[in-house]
Amino acid sequence: MSGPVEPTVVDLRVWGVERVLPAVARVARQRRRVRRAPGLVFATLLGTGRARTFSPRDADPHHWALLTTWSDATAADAFAESEPVREWQRDATEELWVRMRPLTSRGRWSRRDPFPALDPGPWDGPVAALTRARLRATRAASFWRAVPPVAAQLAGAPGSRLALGIGEAPVGVQGTFSLWSGADDLTAFAYRPGAHREVVRRTEPARWYAEELFARLAVLEVHGSHDGVEP
């Protein structure tokens, strides 16, 4: 009889760079190499944004990210010493690394489940929230008008330690990554009266998304900095 399935290991690495064009070329060049790594479940190279309006004008060409999901910590640790990671590190002015395990996940990312093995048990440490959406082209302008108040609410939310915009493309495929001191802080932001709850209420009738995903993750380790700040 097989035992319980171990929860997948999730790593997010964010690199700060001075040279933008080599970073853009590296993203294109590394996609296949990263996806061949042993033990890899899911991977995507991402641009980032400053999470001020969650619109294309937030794009931050000096920070790039790699989100990976692994079958176990051994595979994740081995990839940390691989050439794709070292190539980023050689050119980086800073690096933020967050190791996590997924607690809950709803939705799909490019028709895939990036977090197939969850750990729904109790967790009283810091948490992360990951969202990703593919916008309907005809609804994008309406969405971008609605989200700036959410960004303002997030910036001042108690327990918020870091908030980034993330996306595979400058327009139409975007999301957020945020770090929180605890689950209670994230829940309070998500459900208390205000801009975020109003946007959630409008999501289904407005039909903003062709595809969406929301995940909550237990934060196991955080190392490094983003924009000079250690979250």
74 inside domain: yes
80 inside domain: yes
Q: Are 114 and 41 spatial neighbours (Cβ–Cβ below 8 Å)?
A: yes
The CATH number of the domain where 190 resides is what?
3.30.70.100
Instruction: Band the pLDDT of 2: cuts 50, 70, 90.
Output: very low
Mean pLDDT of 167-196: 80
61 inside domain: yes
Instruction: Band the pLDDT of 123: cuts 50, 70, 90.
Output: very high
- Residue 227 has phi, psi (to 5 degrees) of 55, 35
The predicted structure's pLDDT at residue 3: 47
1 inside domain: no
The predicted structure's pLDDT at residue 54: 61
217 inside domain: yes
Q: Tell me the percentage of the chain whose pLDDT exceeds 70.
A: 81
| DSSP helix, strand, coil percent of the chain (3-state; round to 5) | 30, 40, 30
Query: For residue range 78-112, what is the model confidence (pLDDT) as tens digits?
Result: 999 999 999 999 999 999 999 999 999 999 999 99
Angle at the Cα of 169 (from 167 to 172), degrees rounded to 5?
90
- The DSSP bridge partners found for residue 112 are 109
- Residue 8 has phi, psi (to 5 degrees) of -70, 155
- Among 68, 177, 67, 71, CA closest to 117: 71
Instruction: Band the pLDDT of 55: cuts 50, 70, 90.
Output: low
Q: Between the ranges 5-19, 137-151, 162-176, where is the mean pLDDT highest?
A: 5-19
Max CA separation in the chain (angstroms): 53
47 inside domain: yes
Compare 205 and 62 and report the one with higher pLDDT: 62
Angle at the Cα of 161 (from 187 to 100), degrees rounded to 5?
75
Q: For the chain, how many structural domains are there in total?
A: 1
Residue 26 has pLDDT above 60, yes or no: yes
| Cα separation, 50 vs 130, whole angstroms | 15
Residue range of the domain that includes 73: 9-223
Residue 45 has pLDDT above 90, yes or no: yes
137 inside domain: yes
